[in-house]
């Protein structure tokens, strides 16, 4: 690297140090992009849009940063590089806290805060890479070699940073801890830069002071980050936050007011309110269970909170229940958190439970089995009445290869507010479900607001019908959400037969807090033209129409 002034041994060591420095810069830069994009999607939803626009903003800013660096004098390159890295560590480390506080306290200008932060971080990342090239130019004036030395390790670092962030950091650490750990790594790279280029530094004492102050700030943030994040996050919710967890898949928050009322939020969106969740879950489960000619084998897709399972376990003739939920953190919380246990009746603690967490599905003669993995956890597994299986797997993957058939399939998914969720409301998914149902089996789909997102609701019904189901709509009012709807569907049984069966339920064979046969009958009645749509399309793999209708209904963006 420094052929003019260093021995061959020193040159080799310096080239290694340069490679390590660029590796760290590339990895940290990519980690900052992912971390800020994750926070943006947690706060605003619509994860694909937020990730795309945040990363695009940062890339654009990196280009401007590269443009700005050309005005940096040659005699201050090393000083500017260290200062930039320290500022990047502090700004990137505290970035999630800045975004959460901005979202809660300054909602009118939050978008400006979010993209200004992304722009600033991108500028700093884009500014430092050309500085490295200019510093290295003295030792390696040939452009092709200089570019290879600097950019090669930067791109390798970006790859490793992406893999570590995706498969390690976000799996085991909260997002605030990730940002501060990345910040400390950036401080480490700044220290390495100081050691490597100490002879080129014009103001070494000032640079040391910057490193000490920056390192102290980021370290303090790491040590206090959890409490700082909880205090910041509390501004987002009316009731006190009692649990805040981030998994690789979602951000889960539980709040509880002075009256003991529990609410659950995922990525900032209310999932249930203890005051009225029973209205939703009784409507979701009991019409389908009463309509079914048999209910020995039940499949619940989603529902990791155990609330739908609570209702299913009221039926003594159920022999097997398989609950498939993507997030093991959610199902573990439902089985261990005292507040959720109180609400779900301990359904996820049932002594019959078999927990399967990283499940690869194999053939089984009478029930779902999973291939062994190092992540499996087992509980007691036998009961004379039923066997329960909790399988942490993407529902779309599960239905492709699940063995056996089910009498009732209950789908308790979040609303289709992203393309990933929209696939769970699409025809390919329903085609696989048709194969999983016994003849005469019943399928029920949570389908969102029949008022606010009416076109999305109707699109779900059209998609079910396109997949060969005879589907019947029903709805009810849930105070926390407003008018809410479901579709109940069968294969080979006319919709009129399904509707007639629901209208003629004489009594409910299990106890309920809210639902009655009369309410089931009234739920089949809609207002004038409420089920009429000018559209005839449905959701497919390449055309997630329900997603676009959902965004349109909630005024998130215009339908294309």
Q: Please give the torsion angle defined by the CA atoms of residues 379, 385, 387 and 388, in that order, rounded to the nearest 10 degrees.
A: -80
3-state DSSP call for residue 310? helix
Q: Please give the torsion angle defined by the CA atoms of residues 74, 78, 79 and 80, in that order, rounded to the nearest 10 degrees.
A: 70
Q: What is the spatial distance between Cα 259 and Cα 253, in angstroms, rounded to a whole number?
A: 18
Strand pairing category for 269-273 and 369-370? unpaired
Q: What is the spatial distance between Cα 156 and Cα 167, in angstroms, rounded to a whole number?
A: 17
Q: What is the spatial distance between Cα 175 and Cα 248, in angstroms, rounded to a whole number?
A: 10
Region of 165 (left: φ > 0; alpha: ψ -120 to 50; beta: rest) is alpha
Which of 154, 325, 350, 412 is catalytic? The answer is: 412
**317 catalytically annotated:** no
Tokens (6 digits) for 278: 């029973």
CA 167-303-359 angle, to 5 degrees, is 45
CB 127 within 8 A of CB 210: no
Q: What is the spatial distance between Cα 214 and Cα 221, in angstroms, rounded to a whole number?
A: 11
3-state DSSP call for residue 426? coil
Q: What is the spatial distance between Cα 471 and Cα 447, in angstroms, rounded to a whole number?
A: 12
Q: What is the spatial distance between Cα 292 and Cα 297, in angstroms, rounded to a whole number?
A: 11
Q: What is the spatial distance between Cα 529 and Cα 527, in angstroms, rounded to a whole number?
A: 6
Hunting for tokens 């290295």 — which residue is that?
A: 136
Q: What is the spatial distance between Cα 489 and Cα 447, in angstroms, rounded to a whole number?
A: 12
- CB neighbours (10 Å) of residue 170? 19
Residues carrying an active site annotation: 412
């Amino acid at each position: 690297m420094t052929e003019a002034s260093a021995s061959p041994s020193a040159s080799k060591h310096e080239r290694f140090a340069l490679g390590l420095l660029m590796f760290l810069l590339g990895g940290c830069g990519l980690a900052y992009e992912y971390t800020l994009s994750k926070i943006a999607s947690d706060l605003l939803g619509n994860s694909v849009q937020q990730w795309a626009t945040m990363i695009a903003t940062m890339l654009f800013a990196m280009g401007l940063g590269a443009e700005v660096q050309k005005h940096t004098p040659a005699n201050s390159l090393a000083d500017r590089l260290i200062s930039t890295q320290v500022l990047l560590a502090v700004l990137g480390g505290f970035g999630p806290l800045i975004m959460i506080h901005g979202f809660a306290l300054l909602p009118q200008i939050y978008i400006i805060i979010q993209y200004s932060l992304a722009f600033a971080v991108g500028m700093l990342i884009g500014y430092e890479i050309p500085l490295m090239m200019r510093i290295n130019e003295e030792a390696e004036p040939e452009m092709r070699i200089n570019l290879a030395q600097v950019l090669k390790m930067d791109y390798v670092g970006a790859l490793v940073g992406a893999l570590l962030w995706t498969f390690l950091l976000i799996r085991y650490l909260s997002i605030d801890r990730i940002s501060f750990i990345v910040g400390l790594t950036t401080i480490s790279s700044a220290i390495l830069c100081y050691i490597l280029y100490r002879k080129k530094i014009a103001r070494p004492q000032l640079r040391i002071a910057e490193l000490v102050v920056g390192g102290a700030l980021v370290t303090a943030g790491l040590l206090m980050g959890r409490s700082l994040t909880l205090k910041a996050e509390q501004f987002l919710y009316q009731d006190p936050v009692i649990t805040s967890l981030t998994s690789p898949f979602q951000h889960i928050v539980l709040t509880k007011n002075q009256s003991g009322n529990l609410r659950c939020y995922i990525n900032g969106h209310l999932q249930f309110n203890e005051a009225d969740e029973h209205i939703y879950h009784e409507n979701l489960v009991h019409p389908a269970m009463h309509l079914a000619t048999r209910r020995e084998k039940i499949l619940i897709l989603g529902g990791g909170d155990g609330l739908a399972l609570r209702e299913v376990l009221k039926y003594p003739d159920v022999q097997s229940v398989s609950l498939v939920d993507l997030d093991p953190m959610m199902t573990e919380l439902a089985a261990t958190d005292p507040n959720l246990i109180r609400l779900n009746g301990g359904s996820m603690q049932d002594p019959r439970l078999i927990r399967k967490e990283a499940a690869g599905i194999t053939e089984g003669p009478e029930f779902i089995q999973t291939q062994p993995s190092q992540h499996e956890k087992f509980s007691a597994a036998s009961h004379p009445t039923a066997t329960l299986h909790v399988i942490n797997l993407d529902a779309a993957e599960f239905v492709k290869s699940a063995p056996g058939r089910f009498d009732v399939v209950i789908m308790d998914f979040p609303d289709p507010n992203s393309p990933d969720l929209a696939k769970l409301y699409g025809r390919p998914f329903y085609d696989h479900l048709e194969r999983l149902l016994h003849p005469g089996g019943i399928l029920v789909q949570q389908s969102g607001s029949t008022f606010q997102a009416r076109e999305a609701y109707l699109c779900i019904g059209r998609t079910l019908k396109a997949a060969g189901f005879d589907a019947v709509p029903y709805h009810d009012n849930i105070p926390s959400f407003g008018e809410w709807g479901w579709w109940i569907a069968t294969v080979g049984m006319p919709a009129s037969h399904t509707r007639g069966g629901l209208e003629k339920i004489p009594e409910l064979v299990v106890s309920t807090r809210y639902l009655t046969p009369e309410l089931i009958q009234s739920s089949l009645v809609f207002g004038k033209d409420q089920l009429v749509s000018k559209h005839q399309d449905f959701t497919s793999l390449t055309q997630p129409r329900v997603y676009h209708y959902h965004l349109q209904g909630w005024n998130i963006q215009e339908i294309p």
